[in-house]
Structure 1
Amino acid sequence: MSNILEKKNNNQRDIRFDILKTIGLFCIIFAHIGPENNVFFHLRRFDVPLMVIVSGTLYVYSSGNKQISFWSYVQKRLPRLIAPVWVFFIFYFIATYIIFYFLSKPYPFSLEKILETFLLLKGIGYVWIIRVFILVALFANFALYVYRLCKSEVKFLIFLSLTYLGYEFLLILTQRFSFLTRTIFLNVIINDYLFYILPYGCLFGLGMVIPKLKNKSILLISGLFLSLFLLQAVYFYHKLGHFISNENFKYPAKFYYVSYGVFMSMLAYFIVDKLSVRYNLLERDNLLIRLIVFISSSSLWIYLWHILFVYYWQNLVAEYLHALTSNFTVSFLVVAFGAIAITYLQKQAVLQIITKTKVGQKNSDLLSILFLK
């Protein structure tokens, strides 16, 4: 059995997007443990938009010129997203019950919170991002169909812009006519699903056109959204008398949050593209590159394990080693590389089971979906 990080043929991979996914993942982990008074805590608020944009690019790469039916894609993609997440949640809640029982501590999660977590609503927190990617997966096939129908990146970008404007109009409409979301069912459908699939679907669509855009166009889009972001920042400062964080415009995503996300994501792509050319990263194969590829291709499980590390680090370890847990650098290293390490061990163990046991060989597809994606 070969090691996951052993030399692989990466000629078919675009390392630029592995780097961007790794940056996005680290920024998200930082958000969950970083001090809010840290400058980088504010700068990193392009993390989720970046991950969604990169997903759009990777989807176009994987689809090529193939005709992909909606149902075949959904049947293949959704289990790979939902099944590992639910497996992790089952482990997480049972493990927490056992640990808190032996520590003689009350169980911290109510039945309602557990149910919300499995439905990817509020729950234990951190799970809304997974809901975003599931919704984007539902949107992907339609976006690809429209993209091919437009036959032009400019026309498709216009379509995305109009779609996003329609979304902002719907936001205003529901705020003015609150009866539209008065019932719990409509509130969930509109605020937790529709108002997430539209803005992030547009970001996903933006990612689809990136491979066809020239550097001048990338910089133009980045500069345009920077200007729009700064105009909003000045407007809110003039209106309220102080700077207002775009974090307040995140749930659901509004243009103040989205514009910054697009600006930074396109800038990050431009910088990574330049560095990849300068240092010939597309042809390099070393331990660092393989580690980045591993993190990128294992981002779901790394994200899931980081939830466990964050919770126990902040709620149990902090009781006994407060000086250690209050140190951001230590906290980041423990959470980020702890999640990476346990994901690596998990994949190695499952690969061993698949290759060396009859049960593993018989259920290789299921084990791959649950633990290797």
Structure 2
Amino acid sequence: MSNTLEKKPKRQRDIRFDILKTIGLFCIIFAHVGPENNIFFHVRRFDVPLMVIVSGTLYAYSSGNKQISFWSYVKKRLPRLIAPVWLFMIFYFIATYIIFSLLSKPYPFSPQKIFETFLLLKGVGYVWIIRVFILVALAANLLLYVYRLCKSEAKFLTLLSLSYLGYELLLILIQRFSFLTRAIFLNVIINDYLLYLLPYGCLFGLGMAIPKLKNKSILLISGLFLSLFLLQAVYFYYKLGHFISNENFKYPPQSYYVSYGIFMSMLAYFVVNKLCVKYSLLERDNFLIRLIVFISSSSLWIYLWHIFFVYYWQNLIAEYFHELTSNFTISFVVVTFGAIAITYLQKKAIFNVIKKTKIGQKNSELLSILFLK
């Protein structure tokens, strides 16, 4: 346990989904440091859908044929999502206060922004994705039940498609009758929770079915959603006279954004699957494989630490080394390597505390939830 990268990955792991999670995580980090005029900035916009789809697959894998109760899963899953985020945010806000005080700079975060961050709303701007994973975790048990009830991937995917169409109709109704969301409480419930639960729940469900789909079905689904995406792109171009980014349809997710996300996610799965078969990656054990497994299994803390590096790189280091921070490649390497490195050191330190101290052994479960997931 002394070195998390020296341990061999467990053989029951499916390295395909570790690779896909790593791709999704790197794409998200790119989004926060990359220039908008970079072509990859537009290509990588399948990152969040990919992460949700992979989460659905991993949940189905871990469930197997077991009957998992809603409450037992929620009690296990939610603390692993919320506790590390809140712990990190406490450190983040306190560290920022100390650093900015030492530099005689005004504190950049208002009480409202801090409060919204802990509620996983707008806040500092990066925590909304945690809210998405909490919402799909709440729906995971029901989706698995429906999936097993359908007894067919085709029936389940058809049901998910119909559910998503219902979501799009609901979105149109909410936009048309905006008075329904004038009350602050209803606005939060509908716009920040319901309109994220439904579409991302469908993507989570799609992930459950992926491992049992044949390559032809994967390519068919990818092609169908590529066609849907291109039809909408042409429609918006004809209507507005210029290309419009699907990023404008991300909050909440709409078909122009979701269709691209599914197309690219299915294509990524197909390519990764082919590469794993061709190069026998499922059986290999080397540093690169162990690194990918580490990044995948540590994605939450790497994501959290990247927030720290992005903020200080763009708001503090940039004041003194603007040419350095304006270079995308350097920015991406610094933020990514920094987040991975500090996560590795954190996990190694906690492993040692658990292994070598009585306090660590006594509180191993709590320490694991807070620092190792």
TM-score by length of 2: 0.99
Query: 1:226, 1:263 within 8 Å by CA — same for their partners in 2?
Result: yes
Regions of 4+ moved over 4 Å: none
Query: 1:115, 1:123 within 8 Å by CA — same for their partners in 2?
Result: yes
Q: Partners in 2 of 1:14 and 1:22 — Cα distance?
A: 13
Question: 1:61 is matched with which residue?
Answer: 61
Correspondence 1:147-226 to 2 at 5 A: 147-226=147-226
Question: 1:338 is matched with which residue?
Answer: 338
AA at the equivalent of 2:117:
T
1:300 matches 2:300: yes
Question: 1:139 is matched with which residue?
Answer: 139
Cα offsets for 1:186-222 (capped at 9, x unmatched): 0000000000000000000000000110000000000
CA positional deviation for 1:66: 0.1
CA positional deviation for 1:10: 2.7
Q: Partners in 1 of 2:370 and 2:3 — Cα distance?
A: 19
Question: 2:73 is matched with which residue?
Answer: 73
CA positional deviation for 1:3: 1.1
Question: 1:114 is matched with which residue?
Answer: 114
Question: 1:89 is matched with which residue?
Answer: 89
CA positional deviation for 1:145: 0.4
AA at the equivalent of 2:280:
N
CA positional deviation for 1:7: 3.6
Question: 2:235 is matched with which residue?
Answer: 235
Task: Say how many residue pairs are matched.
Answer: 373
Q: Partners in 2 of 1:40 and 1:74 — Cα distance?
A: 36
Query: 2:9, 2:293 within 8 Å by CA — same for their partners in 1?
Result: no
Q: Partners in 1 of 2:161 and 2:62 — Cα distance?
A: 25
1:363 matches 2:363: yes
AA at the equivalent of 1:290:
R
AA at the equivalent of 1:248:
N
Query: 1:116, 1:122 within 8 Å by CA — same for their partners in 2?
Result: yes
Query: 1:7, 1:285 within 8 Å by CA — same for their partners in 2?
Result: no
AA at the equivalent of 1:317:
I
Cα offsets for 1:67-118 (capped at 9, x unmatched): 0000000000000000000000000000000000000000000000000000
SS in structure 2 at match of 1:66? coil
Question: 2:100 is matched with which residue?
Answer: 100
Q: Partners in 1 of 2:7 and 2:184 — Cα distance?
A: 52
SS in structure 1 at match of 2:125? coil
- Greater mean alpha carbon deviation, residues 8-17 or residues 213-222: 8-17
AA at the equivalent of 1:108:
P
Cα offsets for 1:263-319 (capped at 9, x unmatched): 000000000000000000000000000000000000000000000000000000000
CA positional deviation for 1:332: 0.2
Q: Partners in 1 of 2:167 and 2:128 — Cα distance?
A: 19
Q: Partners in 2 of 1:180 and 1:319 — Cα distance?
A: 45
Question: Any gaps of 5 or more consecutive residues in structure 1?
Answer: none
Cα offsets for 1:124-152 (capped at 9, x unmatched): 10111111001010010000000011111
The two structures, once aligned, show a CA RMSD in angstroms of: 0.6
1:31 matches 2:31: yes
Q: Partners in 2 of 1:120 and 1:73 — Cα distance?
A: 21
Q: Partners in 2 of 1:7 and 1:21 — Cα distance?
A: 19
Question: 2:51 is matched with which residue?
Answer: 51
Q: Partners in 2 of 1:124 and 1:51 — Cα distance?
A: 21
Query: 2:2, 2:352 within 8 Å by CA — same for their partners in 1?
Result: no
CA positional deviation for 1:324: 0.5
SS in structure 2 at match of 1:109? coil
Q: Partners in 1 of 2:115 and 2:350 — Cα distance?
A: 28
Q: Partners in 1 of 2:309 and 2:239 — Cα distance?
A: 41
- Greater mean alpha carbon deviation, residues 247-256 or residues 154-163: 154-163
Q: Partners in 1 of 2:180 and 2:7 — Cα distance?
A: 55
Q: Partners in 2 of 1:354 and 1:9 — Cα distance?
A: 21
CA positional deviation for 1:63: 0.2
- Alpha-carbon spacing, 1:9–1:343, altered in 2? closer, same or farther (3 Å): closer
